Amino acid sequence: MGLANLPERVTRVGYPRAAIVKFPRGATCGPPHAAELQRQVIADALRLLETAQSPGTLLELPHRFTEAA
């Protein structure tokens, strides 16, 4: 499965399952040292393994990229 930030690339790859984040290049899992947010993103992505029912399932995650000041 994929956790990715570029929807057009995700479509080309054809993952069985993929979660898509609106995060910048170089920080696909979230901002540095934002452990709770990173954990939520990874957990929400992995839950797709149990919820997706067909190949090519994509899930846009709602998390916002908020960096510590």
Partner 1 sequence: MQIMDLALFRSRYPRWLAEARPLLEAADLKGAFKTYPFPTNPASPWTPLAKPLAQCRVAILTTAGLYVAGDQPPFRVTDIEGDWTLRELRNDQPLEGLAIAHDHFDHARAEADLNCVYPHTRLQELAAQGLIGGLAPTHFSISGYCTRADQVVEHTLPQVVQRLRAECTDVLLHVPI
Q: Give the span between the Cα atoms of 28 and 31, in whole angstroms.
A: 8
Q: Of the two residues 20 and 62, which places its CB atom closer to partner 1 in the complex?
A: 20
50 phi and psi angles, rounded to 5 deg: -95, -25
CA-CA-CA-CA torsion sign (37, 34, 24, 50) = negative
Residue 66 touches partner 1, criterion: CB under 8 A: no
Residue 55 touches partner 1, criterion: CB under 8 A: yes
User: Could you tell me the smallest distance in angstroms from the CB atom of residue 19 to partner 1?
Assistant: 10
Q: Of the two residues 62 and 68, which places its CB atom closer to partner 1 in the complex?
A: 68
